Amino acid sequence: MLDDFVTFGRSGLRVSRMALGGFNFGGGQPWSLDGKAAGQLISRYRDLGGNLLDVANSYGGGEAETIVGDYLAAHSGVRDRMVIASKFGSNVHAGDPNAGGGGRKAIIQSCEDSLRKLKTDRIDLYWMHIHDPMTPVDETLRALDDLVRAGKLLHVGLSNLPAWQVAEAHWLAQFRDRTPIVGLQLQYSLMERSIEIEHVPMAQAYGLGIAAWSPLKSGALSGRYRRDDTANHDAEGRGAFLARILDEKAERILAVVTEIADRMGVSPAQVSLAWLLARPCVSTILIGANDVAQLEENAGASSIMLAPEDLAALEEVGRPAMPYPADFARRAMGSISGGTRINGVAPPTGGGSPSQARR
């Protein structure tokens, strides 16, 4: 079911279209899973054909990597068949200013800690988790390049960074012969599409893969929660998230998702994930699950093919508002094309500059 692989970005790394995220591995939150429950998810994910496990040094208060490492150590031969991804940047050592961010000391220290917890000699995909405005990006890239050359990392990516810094890192890596950035891990769903304004066109232009996190927007796209029915909003500690998410636009999106799901005989979550899988910019989706049944439901989206009219309806209802200059650039297509269709793209209605004279 999940044995449909893609090469991630401009690398030769083959990853499943659906990755298993370990955000809920360990820790003391209402949604936390212990090692046994997390291990059951990993085993079932492998049975379904998946090969990409994604964690971070901060997940579960630092326990997620340990849980994955214990699982790998207990299952002979599994490590080499899996793609193990982790992240650095979050400071998990209170009082130590050099334990977080993108500085050389922080990266080396975090990588060594992660290798010990994961019980492995290398990390296949290492993400910079968050933007560090206090460290020159060239220092970050050089430290990562040194770790790649030492064989401790295989590929590197960026997560949650502004588009301008991704572009800077991409070109600095190119010009200074550093290890290239292979992809981005970004929040993306029918209810969170702001990356379409800058990140998506940039990723497509530079050949960067996109791994989408929170594809169900903290469970809001599962269909189990509605704005006017708050009785179960606090289930698994989701209340604070859902209160921010379930606005009028979210309700309009849910109405379209639910109508399509009911007509197809599938779940709203599966429709939402199938829409993401159909996005040409998305390489892999990070799915999370509380149990095996939920994992299997999410994985079932990989076999769902949405009709063109349903894709169009979902595209329209969740379309993000485009601020300047993105919207100006979109409307300016009429000025560039002279009203003609180029590369399959027609100028928008009303495009062009009012100062242009028509002949």
Half-sphere exposure of 286 (CA within 13 A, CB side): 24
Domain ranges of the chain: 5-313, 322-359
Query: In the prediction, which pLDDT does 238 show?
Result: 59
Q: d(Cα 251, Cα 326) in Å, to the nearest integer?
A: 26
User: Considering 45, 59, 71, 188, which one is annotated as catalytic?
Assistant: 59
Question: Which of 44-58, 259-273, 337-351 is least confident?
Answer: 337-351
In eight-state DSSP terms, residue 89 is -
CATH fold of 5-313: TIM Barrel (3.20.20)
Q: d(Cα 282, Cα 277) in Å, to the nearest integer?
A: 7
Give the mean model confidence (pLDDT) for residues 68-82.
97
Assign 273 a pLDDT band (cuts: 50, 70, 90): very high
Query: In the prediction, which pLDDT does 290 show?
Result: 94
pLDDT at residue 227 is higher than 80: no
Assign 112 a pLDDT band (cuts: 50, 70, 90): very high
Residue bearing the bigger pLDDT, 359 or 79: 79
Query: In the prediction, which pLDDT does 8 show?
Result: 98
Q: d(Cα 211, Cα 348) in Å, to the nearest integer?
A: 30
Residue bearing the bigger pLDDT, 334 or 187: 187
Half-sphere exposure of 139 (CA within 13 A, CB side): 13
DSSP per-residue codes, 16-53: ESEEEE-TTBSSSSTT-B-HHHHHHHHHHHHHTT--EE
The percentage of residues in the chain with a pLDDT greater than 70, rounded to a whole number, is 93
Query: In the prediction, which pLDDT does 9 show?
Result: 97
Comparing CA positions, the residue from 171, 173, 181, 220 lying closest to residue 318 is 220
Spatial neighbors of 355 by CB under 8 A, at least 6 apart, are none
pLDDT at residue 291 is higher than 60: yes
Spatial neighbors of 357 by CB under 8 A, at least 6 apart, are none
Burial of residue 258, with CB atoms counted within 10 A of its CB: 0-12 exposed, 13-18 middle, 19 or more buried = middle
Question: Which of 84-88, 172-176, 245-249, 331-335 is least confident?
Answer: 331-335
Active-site residue 59, yes or no? yes
Burial of residue 198, with CB atoms counted within 10 A of its CB: 0-12 exposed, 13-18 middle, 19 or more buried = middle
Query: In the prediction, which pLDDT does 246 show?
Result: 82
Question: Which of 21-30, 184-193, 225-234, 276-285 is least confident?
Answer: 225-234
Query: In the prediction, which pLDDT does 226 show?
Result: 63
pLDDT at residue 174 is higher than 60: yes
Query: In the prediction, which pLDDT does 20 show?
Result: 98
The percentage of residues in the chain with a pLDDT greater than 90, rounded to a whole number, is 79
Query: In the prediction, which pLDDT does 29 show?
Result: 87
Assign 181 a pLDDT band (cuts: 50, 70, 90): very high
pLDDT at residue 216 is higher than 60: yes
- pTM to 2 decimal places: 0.92
